[in-house]
Chains A and B, each alone.
Chain A
Amino acid sequence: MGLKTKAKIMDEDGIRRAIRRIAHEIVEKNNGVENLGLIGIRRRGVPIARRIAEEIKQFEGVEVPVGILDITLYRDDLSSLSHQPVVHQTEINFPVTGKKLVLVDDVLYTGRTVRAALDALMDLGRPMLVQLAVLIDRGHREIPVRADYVGKNVPTSKKEVIHVHLAEIDGDEAVYIMEKEDE
């Protein structure tokens, strides 16, 4: 089953503005950057988290620590996959206990990734609070999860797929809606 591009819904400028706005909202909602940490969910949450930290550094002059979370071992669908996905390292080089953490991912869909990420985080310590930032919220939640910061809300059908392209991973900057082609 192939995928065909249906529409480009964000370009480079759009992505940059959304990430900049999210950075401001995070600082505003948390009354500053004290005790703040950003946790990017592998893979595309990681460059987004780094960019948010970069933005915050520019307007607040403070470096917010960025960690990388790999949630593979916490997934709930391992037994239904045809073979095991590669596990990567979680690299969070600061204590999470007592911190205000913002989980960062590219797309929020069923919410299952966020559930896995929360479980993974709790095994590393006891954060003071955890918030969620996503570049795209496409709906269709299967568990009660909502994002605190959203770059763009995109109503989709379940036949559609969101592809986020980031320079660090994909070489270009764009968000596309793709559609599954019928057999």
Chain B
Amino acid sequence: MKRKHLLGLQELSKEEINTILDIARPMRDIIMRDIKKVPTLRGKTVATLFYEPSTRTRSSFELAAKFLSADTLSINVGSSSVQKGESLIDTIRTLEAMGVEIIAVRHQQSGVPKFISLNTKMSVINAGDGFHEHPTQALLDLFTIKQKLDKIEGLKVAIIGDIYHSRVARSNIWGLIKLGAEVTVCGPPSLIPVEIEKFGVKVEINLQRTLEWADVVNVLRIQRERQDAGYLTTLDEYRDWYGLTQEKLEKLKGKKLLILHPGPMNRGVEIDDYVADGPNAVVNEQVTNGVAVRMAVLYLLAGGNESGNVD
């Protein structure tokens, strides 16, 4: 993979995605052993710059960097303290001047990682930007599906919930379609973007029908912080219609269904306790795999001499 930045799955080829997934496997072996460290990125510095709150993605990037022996630096920016434009660039210049080589950026505005990538010598990884993309989340979802079901191609995957506000959904759609899966998005009509069919996905508003159809469901978090605009009536009603409950699963009469959730979970809203802790859910594996996939991404982006860093 000859690429300096990871900004989204839209720009990656099927081959590049498969390379990342292949390399994540040996990376996962490293996480599983007693000495969780290899010397690969010794002397490199990786920074996380998050303009939105996050626990798991940021810690995941940090651990991934540490397991590869990179030095890590974590910058937390309250979304109010930094405005667009000059100050963002100043922050980037500062990190650059400190010798940081790779930076994982999360920002509430779509396109910020791309903007940074055009204005820095560092490698930029998009750790989630607005409603746009969250590539490493989609990569870990793909990796987990492949790990559990041995393939992606031909699988029927449903993404359930607030598609409109979801960068996880968008990155997943790009990745799944490129790897040959069939994708259906399912959620309240108010939270399904218009013309999403142009991505190559089907739209279904009935959850039970979606569950009957799917091999895999990816349950999105209801982002309470983004529900002020009145897209939903109440969370209880949401649970009745789109929550993954034990009753809805029982109607499937033992059909195999792999259940993913990017976390953090709103238990009792989009997913019930029984389901989240049940045998079909792989939420904790997703977290472990997230570190492995980020190790693979860091490894691939860190490499290469100057001439090799072709974007």
CB contact under 8 A between A87 and B299, given known A73-B39, A78-B40, A123-B37: yes
Q: Judge whether B308 is part of the interface by a CB distance below 8 angstroms.
A: yes
A83 near B1 (CB under 8 angstroms)?
yes
A53 and B40 CA atoms in complex are apart in Å by 31
CB distance from A36 to the nearest CB of B (A): 22
Residue pair B305, A81 in contact (C-beta under 8 Å): yes
Whole-angstrom CA separation of A90 from B27 in the bound complex: 10
Q: Are A82 and B300 in contact (CB under 8 A)?
A: no
Question: With the chains together, A172 CA to B38 CA distance in Å?
Answer: 35
Given A86-B22, A87-B27, verify A81-B304 contact (CB < 8 Å).
Answer: yes
Do A87 and B26 touch (CB < 8 A)? yes
Interface-centre pick from B26, B33, B307 (highest chain A CB count, 10 A): B26
Q: A124 touching B35 by the CB < 8 A rule? A: yes
Q: Is the interface of A mostly helix, strand, loop or mixed?
A: loop
A-B contact count (CB 8 A): 60
Known: A70-B26, A86-B22, A87-B27. A80 touches B35 (CB 8 A): no
Q: Which residues of A contact B22 (CB under 8 A)?
A: 86
CA distance A90 to B202 in the complex (A): 40
| Contact mask for chain B residues 10-24; partner A; CB cutoff 8 A; 1 contact, 0 none | 000000000100110
- 16 A-B pairs besides A84-B303, A120-B38 with CB distance below 8 A are A70-B26, A73-B26, A73-B68, A74-B38, A74-B39, A78-B303, A80-B305, A81-B305, A82-B2, A83-B2, A83-B303, A84-B302, A84-B304, A87-B299, A88-B26, A124-B33
Instruction: Point out residues on B near A: beta carbons under 8 Å.
Output: 1-2, 19, 22-23, 25-27, 29-30, 33-35, 37-40, 68, 296, 299-300, 302-305, 307-308
Q: Which residues of A does B touch, CB under 8 Å?
A: 70, 73-74, 78-84, 86-90, 119-120, 123-125
